[in-house]
Chains A and B, each alone.
Chain A
Amino acid sequence: MLSFIIRRTLIIIPMALIVVTLTWGLVRLAPGNFYTGEKKLPAAIEANIKKKYGLDQPWYTQYGMMMSNIIRGDFGDSVKYQGQSVNEIITRHLPYSATIGILGYLLALLIGLSAGTFAALKQNSSFDYGSMSLAMLGLSVPNFVLGPLLVLVFSFWLYWLPPARWGGIAGLILPVCTLAAIYAAYIARLTRAGMLEVLRSDYIRTARAKGLDEKTVLFRHALRGGLVPVLSFTGPALAALLAGTVVVEKVFAIPGLGNIFIQSVFNRDEPLILGIVAFLSILIMVFNLIVDVCYGFLDPRIRYE
């Protein structure tokens, strides 16, 4: 198990570097750059800028310099936000995304797991139909519709909650709910399907034939098997949620990582783009690793060596 974790951890670095390389290539291939705006710059100034950022060097020299810096953990300074390092910018904006991300994740887990389990236990009941229709709705209504809709109802009609901006617990409720909706829906459906399959399985019949009551059958025998399919979804979901969801941050004007990421792309702010991409890819790989390790604990048939 330990050697599995070490091997998987070691592979994260080269994988992240490959992702960075591909991103770099794509940014370079796209027409335009960070210093040209509507107006064309005078040739002398352009030459100066190129010189300052090393853009007058051949591409492989530029790539080599960038990579050697990145390997040392230095993503350089943003070319748009003068004098701010990429690392600083990420550390500053991450907490906003992480706060709503983690809260949204916990809310989605709470709602999804309990609704899914209960729906499976009461298959074809009105609760089952009701919650699964709601989940279907949750999956088909996109964030950018749900967010404004919630704002409309709870802020502009009922005046209960602030419509946007960071600050206070009240301000967190709407973005967290918007973020959680789709994940809760997904987790509920996965949980229900997983639990239904397990509840029909032979070993649950064995457990009942032993005389165990339904509570023991559910918690001791059924839950673990029912949660296996949910687990593989929740790892990457957490990574995505922590990294911030662009749409929700935009709708609620939250200065999180997602917002900054979009800005960096519009600005063609290459160091910042690469920094965020590297950070996200490492995050996703780490959570995937955590999921795999959890699998090993959940299911004894899975053994890593």
Chain B
Amino acid sequence: MTDPILKVDGLKTYFRTEDGVVKAVDDVSFELKKGETLGIVGESGSGKSVTNLSVMRLIQTPPGEIAGGSVTFDGIDVLALPIDEVRKIRGKRIAMIFQDPMTSLNPFLKISKQLMEVTQLHLGHTKTQAREHALKMLQLVGIPDAEHRLDEYPHEFSGGMRQRVMIAMALSCEPELLIADEPTTALDVTIQAQILELIKDLKSRMGTSVILITHDLGVVAGMTDKIIVMYAGKVFEQAPTKELFSRPANPYTKGLLRSVPDPAHVQGKELYQIPGLPPDVANLPAGCPFAERCDRAEDICRREFPPFVEVAAGHHSLCHFAERVYEQSKSEVNS
């Protein structure tokens, strides 16, 4: 019965480009309760990053523009807020970790400075306080010899260590919402697991709500309470994590699930891939944007845009055949 910490409703973010209007995010809605973790998955270009940058009002205008919808954070209408007020939320109440730790830290500034400026800004720390706090944060995220490393530059850190620094930076004001945009994509597998474990651990300690963006369903399985699946700027499916994994109600989700390598995966056997490529979001067809690649598409799919069907409580799917796909998944599980 807790209030949602974040509510996104009918969000539309468009980019004006030479090839026309790119509808990067088109009518996306979701809700996140306090302490929950939401996973956002989808292929490259499906609008995951743009959705979350829109929440932070970090879309470059022009070419981008939030064309509609609303974002409500803890009862505040973020999109209506003057930018000065948004800045008070950024970094303090909502923090973000980015995909590529190699380029997301400023190469010209010492780590200490980059960490300290956050708490100096938001918590009114003096230099000494900020430095102490920065040190504490580095130790918290497991950076050895932190005292000494504070005075180093980003290039002296490995990728995994830099991502730890990013996490330390993001968490230094104990934000209520942490948005992690593919925090492990650029890292190698063992480091990936460590970073995810770290986020999980800090989340449970601080009670932070988390949005975890990834195109790897394997990553979100063990970490999230619910998942939204995005395709071509739209939410294709939305469900609690367990439900989504066991009873997907959308052919796109099923395709994504089939392409996750499972532990028993036979070496040498080729991994499944959804045929075709994601569509050009500047020129979407009239019908379902996935129809061209869908193995069960029928005429109606190419003609009409599909409805967003609620197949079970809290489980929605954007598909003309959502019910049937859902029933089929159910029977597959039973057999």
Contact = CB atoms under 8 A, between A and B. Distances in A.
B58 to A, nearest CB: 6
A211 B91 contact: yes
A299 B90 contact: no
B71 interface: no
Interface in A200-216: 201-203, 205-213, 216
Contact of B100 (A202, A220, A225): A202
A301 B56 contact: no
B91 A209 contact: yes
Interface stretch (B4-12, B115-123, B131-139, B307-315): B115-123
B56 A203 contact: no
Interface residues of A, number: 22
Interface stretch (B32-40, B106-114, B189-197, B271-279): B106-114
Interface residues of B, number: 30
B169 interface: yes
A205, A211, A216 interface centre (most CB from chain B within 10 Å): A211
B106 A209 contact: no
B301 to A, nearest CB: 37
A299 B108 contact: yes
B171 interface: no
A93 interface: no
A42 interface: no
Given A211-B122, A212-B117, A213-B87, A203 B169 contact: no
Interface of B: 56, 58, 62, 84, 87-92, 95-96, 98, 100, 103-110, 117-118, 121-122, 153, 155, 166, 169
Instruction: Give the 10 A-B residue pairs with the shortest CB-CB distance, closest first.
Output: A211-B91, A211-B90, A210-B91, A202-B103, A300-B153, A203-B106, A224-B108, A211-B87, A202-B104, A209-B96
Interface of A: 124, 201-203, 205-213, 216, 220-221, 224-225, 298-301
Given A208-B58, A211-B122, A225-B107, 11 more contacts: A202-B100, A205-B104, A206-B166, A209-B91, A209-B95, A209-B96, A211-B90, A212-B87, A212-B117, A298-B108, A299-B108
